[in-house]
Structure 1
Amino acid sequence: MAGVFDSFLTLNDFQLHDAKVEPRALRLTSPRGQTVLEPKVMAVLLALAERPGGLWRRDELFERVWPGSPSGEEVLTRAVSLLRKALLAVCEKDVAVVTVPTLGYRLEGRVVPDGPAPGKDAPAAAPSVAVLAFADLSDTGDQAYFADGVGEEIINALVHVEGLKVAGRTSSFAFREQTRDIRAIGAALNVEFVLEGSVRKHGTRVRVTTQLIRSADGFHQWSETFDAQLTDIFDLQDRIAQVVAREFNMLLHPSDQGRLAPRLTISFEAYDLLLRARASYRLNQDEATFARAEAMLREAVEIDPDFVGAWIEIATLNNFASAYHRDRTLKSMFEASRAAVERAMDIAPSAPETIIWSANIRYFEGEALTAFRMAKTALQLAPQNSGIMFSVGHYAACFGYHEEAARLLEGALELDPLDAFAWHTLALVRQNMRQYEVAERHARHAIKLGDRLAREVLAWNAFAQGDRDEAERQHLTLFDEIGAQMEGGTQGRPIWEMFARAVFHDSRPDGDMMRQVLSMQMGAKDYEPSASTFTAVANLGMVEELMAQWGDAYAIKSVASVAMWGDYSWARAFRSHTGFPAFAESRGLAAVWREFGWPAGCAPLPGTDGTDGRFTCGQPVGEP
């Protein structure tokens, strides 16, 4: 991204409504008066003016104006306050810096550059839209799951419209329970238009009412009501998506063959079961809910064995449930996911959603190169799918490609800015690059959005900067927030305290005791890693034990796979261990590096091409 003093606004004066902004003179002038801004206050104004009406996240704006600064975000708060006072004194009331709660700022006001207007051939910004969760207006009031399904499939359809930016579901549906201020939503999601609607189900018929609203001023671009039989729900969803696409004068991608929303199944009953199952386990994460949801999905594929969406949902549920289930093994849930994905691939081998899930399975099985190739193929087929973009970014992070990972994760967040786990993963990547201040801002944002596990990033950031007490405090705060749920009760806190003393305070007695406890657990006949034991084994530097159980950790190793590239003693010991080359070969990592390039800190041994484990990964990673 260009620096704040590199845009055309910094080379020329410009108009902010009826006020003249002179960047080089640091001056703001209007018929009401004149004021001189501090350089950093002007820099904030210039950044905001680059995208009038669009959102600047607090961390993004801070990094733009104070790149690499150790200062806290209070300097940004002060600069915004000073800018607001200057605008209030000099500009009309139509100009303001608006706070978007929990996210950042946007500039209200018309920005016009001095000098000739851009040529007629200047590229226009891609149109953008967010599809909000549709309201349930059914008489019984129990059809929210169905209304969600309608909205979600419209999002999935519009993602395939070439040249249209579509906000991701996580972010768009985050405003479900809030009073809908369309201007604030548009700013928060950085979109020009918002599609909202309602669903009324009655008997065998459904009515969907939609409105396309311009977010800058709340103007209703159009509204329309669609009626259909429930059995024609997929045609109805396609009609809505087509109307939206035509409104933007978008051309359909040739592969769409004139249809945007596919017919997902031959049975409305199977589709209804899918929506009920998905809604239930997204709302409640407990074993009973997971079991009921999977039963509904199994019933759906019994009704329609070729229902790809239901097979993919079975895979998703089992992958998600692995962090919560105690009555099923990780291996059994992985095998359930694998069988579902294989069935989906048999039915729709070229669908991006099946390809990315097949990539996940291959990665868990140790075929990292095949997984990375497939993930990149899926992204080529669906370049605006934020979930797939996140997955490719996550793979890049797992393979040590920090810059590529950061670029892809930021791209995914541009589409889905309220995705907490994406912020968490980006924080880990920045931490691996030793950009601790940026990592902390990202982690705090992830926590604010609901991913409390991102607190571990704060703990390790504090540790990296020499604050061992703060590292322990953050670690134990995590237990108080969700540790009891993870460990099955509050009796696990002494273990977490012992771990903190061992890792953050170098307590040898506590470290020896922790290793003894873990060794006893790992020696049990029915042992399989949990999220907490796997993390403890890693952080305590039990390298050989970590390598031995890596393949059995399946989805719970997703964070450790990224964190192993950090600049911490346990991560360095892992990468520099004599067994690491053989481990990397067995998991397919070395094959990725030989094809796509060696990550920072890794290199073939002199006179070799790195085959057969002839490489080293013992060099420091990242830049301070």
Structure 2
Amino acid sequence: MDHKQKMALARRTKPALRASVFGGFKLFALDGSEVTISNRRARAILAMLCLAPDEALDRNYLSKLFWPGRFETQARASLRQCLLDIGKLFRSMNCDLLDVSRSSVSLKALAIQIDLGDLEAALAEENFGEASELLTSIGAKPLLDQMNFDEKFDDWLKLRRHETEQRLQVAVTTALSALKKSDKLADHVRLLNAWSLRSPDSNPIFNRKRGKVRIAVLPFKSSANPDDQGFFADGIVDELITAFGQVPQLLVAGRTSSFQFKDSRQNSAEIANALNVSYLLGGSVQRQEEQVRIDVGLIDAETGFESWSYSFDGSLDDIFAARANVAQAVTNGLSEALNLQGHQPKTRTLTTNREAYGLYLQGRALTIRAIGDGVLPTAIELLEKALEIDPDFAECWTALAEAEINMTVFTPCIDRLERCEKAAGFAQRALELSPEQAHARIVLAFHKWTQNDIVGALDLAFEAYRIEPNNPDIVNRVGSFLLYCGLCREALPYIEASIDQDPVNGRSYAILCGVHLNLGNIDAAIDAGQRMVDLGFPSIWLAAATAIGGDNNLAVQQYQKTKLLMNTVIFAPAGSTPMEPDAMDAYWLMAAKGLWSGEDQDRKSYCMVLEMLHATLHDPCDSTIVLPAIWMGDAQMVFKTLGKQITPANFFGFMSLWTDAEPINQVRLHPDFMDFAQRIGMVAAWEKYGWPDLLPKPPTMK
């Protein structure tokens, strides 16, 4: 019987003892009680045997290892007595554990079940769901942690740890390869994330920065016709960001962060520091009627000097037709200047029509901006005009889909579901024209959430990540979706990676604040919330972190400050009449106290207001109801809103369900919570991608 067969048989026979070698060594009886072994040497010998259960340990070696200062006869006698004591202890438990001969000692076959053996058996049997769960529970715990004797024992343990980790690495790598070949994306992602907790270097999201040159493409200065408004220059920047993102040795700052420095007066060192990059690529576009000159320069952030430059002169038609060639020329020149391996960017599916392209650039810029009176309706109008000119413009269909989704999130529209349905249709059209449209998959994922198909949403997000693993927006969405499902440890590296690459994107800090709150990292959550506020976003998550950290009075003050962003960053609920200033002040004070004063009466009063809003608002599932209901632990209101209809405007509230604090816990601990989770498709997502730490898998679902 080989090693794999023994492991599988041991799992089926349910031995009388169970051992854990990950973390501190522990032994358990069948009833779950821990078996205490007071003799340090006896405990260490058992640990050694459990770490190598198929091997016999030489008695002479053991006597010298644990009794090095004694004569050989004395040392062997001490070992003999130690083994007798071990045998006596376990015989009293009706367990025959050791197989002892004159020369060696080993574990009896099938006498003990070991967590390491369980993991290796699960991998060998291709039970990848169980393997992922075991790896997640094991995490980064060292083998036989805090077991120390002397230098010789440490050497033995170091060697055994290395051999075991190498064996696990091979088994997991083999499993991941098999899952990838069979196109089992969800199982692959789940196992990779679980293994990453133990071996971070195995996951690209953990080591994506290593050996890469960090660079930001800044908005180009534009000297153009008044009707151009710099959109042509922005188009060149977009082309370069996309091209650089395909170079394996480059890590490119996100567009959102780079464009924060448009027309900035800060010097190159300050901008590079804010964007966490070593190089800045800047440039200008000078246009006089139909003639265009493009100048590009690479600036070393450390010295402030330009280390490489490039120029292109020609007519607007020449440059428009040669956009891909310009991007390739700049990429080649940059690679040579930075001693990088050359790379041929993939050809993007853009239009050949200049007018359609100009309309697309203007519409996309407004879509990304999102916030402002009439911004998104104008964006949609421009993109629709572009598609009238060129209906096969795939990226424009994706941009139109994103604009419709942004309408449902950033404006008080009353037709959210209809717009989301339209957006899904536009995204599907984009994919029909160009299957590599990653952002189109994210739009479809939003739509899946509204259809209670969370598994489908996660599948699409990971597929988008496969296509564009270096796009911080895509990386952020993967992390966000995992967070909404309560998979906080798995979400954190994705969120951190997106912020590392796009560090001036305020939305990301709300997600980071949420994931740290859920992991119990209160100080880190407060820091992320404050950074979000500094970037001009609402202070509601900062208030949540502050209150959970224990300062209720300050949290109330912070939450009230959100009213300053009314009608700018945030808007009143759809169909509601704007409040008078005095009424708004009173409402925000009541809301702040209801959420974060810690007083039960304040909470009850605000819950009553939510009931009234739920009965009167045009959208009874509006985020102004959903998020406070979660934070106040109003389980029935959560079930009546998110349980009835998830929308792109309210589903971000899911991330707050997983904060282990009162009164938020009252939602998750409510007896109807699992029925709610089943109804909205969350349980199906857990079955495929793993169960949250705060919600152990029920025995009936194992």
When the two structures are superposed, what TM-score results if normalisation uses the length of structure 1? 0.71
Q: Is the 8 A contact 2:367 2:402 kept in 1?
A: no
Correspondence 1:514 to 2:606: yes
Asked whether the 8 Å contact 2:405–2:443 carries over to 1, the reply is no
2:648 aligned counterpart, secondary structure: helix
Partner Cα separation in structure 1 for residue 546 and residue 567 of structure 2: 20
1:473 and 2:473 correspond: no
Aligned to 2:235: 149
Cα 1:411/1:327, change in 2 over 3 Å: closer
Contact 1:157 1:261 (8 Å CA) reproduced: no
Which of 483, 494, 501 is the aligned partner of 2:586?
Answer: 494
Amino acid at match of 2:280: V
- Among candidates 588, 591, 598, match of residue 681 of structure 2: 588
> Contact 1:352–1:379 at 8 Å: present in 2 too?
yes
Alpha-carbon spacing, 1:230–1:358, altered in 2? closer, same or farther (3 Å): farther
Does residue 506 of structure 2 align to residue 413 of structure 1? no
| d(CA) in 1 for partners of 2:561, 2:637 | 28
Distance 1:320 1:433, change over 3 A: same
The superposition leaves residues 584-613 of structure 1 with CA deviations (integer Å, 9 ceiling, x where unpaired) of 22322222222222110112223x335xxx
Q: Give, in angstroms, the shift of residue 178 of structure 1.
A: 1.7
2:377 alignment partner in structure 1 = 291
Q: Which residue of the partner structure matches residue 543 of structure 2?
A: 459
Does the C-alpha gap of structure 1 residues 185 and 505 become closer, same or farther in structure 2, counting only changes over 3 Å? Answer: closer
Per the normalisation by structure 2, the TM-score is 0.64
Name the SS for the 2:299 alignment partner: strand
Letter of the 1:269 partner, please give it: E
Asked if the contact 2:631–2:656 (Cα under 8 Å) also holds between the matched residues in 1, the reply is no
Correspondence 1:198 to 2:291: no
Aligned ranges for residues 263-282 of structure 1 at < 5 Å?
263-280=349-366, 282=368
Q: Distance in 1 between matches of 2:297 and 2:685?
A: 47
**Cα 1:553–1:497, aligned 2, differ >3 Å: closer, same or farther?**
farther
RMSD: 2.6
Count of aligned residue pairs for this structure pair: 481
Shift in CA distance, 347/547, structure 1 to aligned 2, threshold 3 Å: farther
Aligned partners of 1:548 and 1:473: how far apart in 2?
Answer: 29
Who is 1:23 aligned against? none
1:529-552 CA deviation, whole Å, 9 max, x = no partner?
A: 333222233334332332232253
Q: CA deviation at 1:389?
A: 0.6
Contact kept? 1:363, 1:371, Cα under 8 Å: yes
1:357 lines up with 2:450 in the alignment:
no
Structure 1 counterpart of 2:324, which letter?
D
Per-residue deviation, 1:141: 8.0
Bigger CA drift: 528-537 or 594-603? 528-537
CA distance in 2 between counterparts of 1:498 and 1:171 reads 35
* Residues 54-453 of structure 1 mapped to structure 2, 5 A cutoff: 125-140=211-226, 142-233=228-319, 235-246=321-332, 247-249=334-336, 250-251=340-341, 258-260=344-346, 262-280=348-366, 282=368, 285-451=371-537, 453=538
**3-state SS of paired residue (1:555):** coil
Q: Render the CA deviation track for 1:304-349: whole Å, top value 9, x for unaligned.
A: 1121222222222222222443353222222222221122122222
Task: Work out whether residues 330 and 553 of structure 1, in 8 Å CA contact, stay in contact via their aligned partners in 2.
Answer: no
Q: What displacement does 1:427 show?
A: 1.1
Aligned residues of 1:345 and 1:358 also touching (Cα < 8 A): no
SS at 1:248's partner residue? helix
In structure 2, the partner of 1:561 is 654
Distance 1:583 1:204, change over 3 A: farther
Paired amino acid for 1:546: V
AA matched with 2:412: R
Alignment of 1:2-21 (within 5 A): none
Q: Check the 8 A contact 1:131/1:172 in 2, yes or no.
A: yes
**2:701 maps to 1:609:** yes
Is 1:482 the equivalent of 2:593?
no
Deviations along 1:18-44, one digit per CA (max 9) or x if unpaired, are xxxxxxxxxxxxxxxxxxxxxxxxxxx
Residues 331 and 552 in structure 1, CA contact (< 8 A), matched pair in contact too: no
- Residue 319 of structure 1 contacts residue 337 of structure 1 at CA under 8 Å; is this kept in 2? yes
CA–CA separation in structure 1 for the residues paired with 2:534 and 2:640: 35
Deviation at 1:425, TM superposition (A): 0.9
- The letter for the 2-side match of 1:204 is E
Partners in 1 of 2:620 and 2:423 — Cα distance? 18
Which piece of structure 1 moves more, 204-213 or 233-242?
233-242
* Partner residue, 1:579: 672
Cα deviation per residue 1:107-126 (whole Å; 9 max; x = unaligned)? xxxxxxxxxxxxxxxx9832
Higher mean alpha-carbon deviation, 537-546 vs 360-369, is at 537-546
**Secondary structure class of the residue paired with 1:191:** coil
Instruction: Find out whether 1:542 has 2:634 as its counterpart.
Output: yes
* Residue aligned with 2:658, SS: coil
Deviation at 1:162, TM superposition (A): 2.0
Say whether the 8 Å CA contact 2:395–2:437 is kept in structure 1: no
The answer (yes or no) to whether the contact 1:398–1:562 under 8 Å persists in 2 is yes
Larger radius of gyration: 2
**Corresponding letter in the other structure for 1:478:** T
C-alpha distance 137-438 of structure 1, shift in aligned 2 (>3 A): same
Distance 1:428 1:226, change over 3 A: same
SS in 1 for 2:686: helix
Same amino acid, percent of matched pairs? 26
Between the aligned partners of 1:527 and 1:320, the Cα distance in structure 2 is 17
| 3-state SS of paired residue (2:659) | coil
- Checking the alignment, whether the CA contact within 8 Å between 2:217 and 2:281 is kept in structure 1 is yes
CA distance in 1, matches of 2:467, 2:410: 33
One-letter identity of the residue aligned with 1:557 = N
C-alpha displacement at 1:167, in angstroms? Answer: 1.1
- Kept after mapping to 2: 8 A contact 1:226/1:236: no
Structure 2 unaligned regions, length at least 5: 1-208, 573-577
Equivalent in the alignment of 1:503: 595
Q: Residue 91 of structure 1 corresponds to which residue in structure 2?
A: none
Determine helix, strand or coil for the equivalent of 2:571.
Answer: helix
Deviates more, 1:303-312 or 1:498-507: 498-507
Q: Deviations over 1:214-272 (max 9, x none)?
A: 2221232222211344345455432333234323255566xxxx444524113221111
Superposed CA offset, 1:51-76 (max 9, x none): xxxxxxxxxxxxxxxxxxxxxxxxxx
User: 2: CA distance between counterparts of 1:503 and 1:470?
Assistant: 12
Shift of 1:211: 0.9
Change beyond 3 A, Cα 1:425–1:234: farther
Once residues 498 and 585 of structure 1 are traced to their aligned partners in structure 2, the CA distance between those partners, rounded to angstroms, is 34
**1:483 to 1:220, Cα distance in 2 relative to 1, 3 A:** closer
3-state SS of the aligned residue for 2:264? coil
Partner secondary structure for residue 322 of structure 1: helix
Relative distance call for 1:221 and 1:427 in structure 2 (3 A) is same
Q: Which runs of 5+ in 1 are unaligned?
A: 1-122, 611-624
1:52 matched residue in structure 2 = none
Mapped partners of 2:233, 2:364: distance in 1: 12
Separation (CA, whole Å) in 1 of partners of 2:353 and 2:341: 30
Deviation at 1:287, TM superposition (A): 4.8
Structure-1 separation of matches of 2:657 and 2:413:
29
> What is the identity, as a one-letter code, of the residue corresponding to 1:556?
A
Deviation at 1:145, TM superposition (A): 2.5
Q: Are residues 130 and 297 of structure 1, via their aligned partners in 2, closer, same or farther at CA, if it must alter by over 3 Å?
A: same
Please state how far the C-alpha of 1:395 moved relative to its aligned partner: 1.1
Separation of aligned partners in 1, 2:587 and 2:673:
29
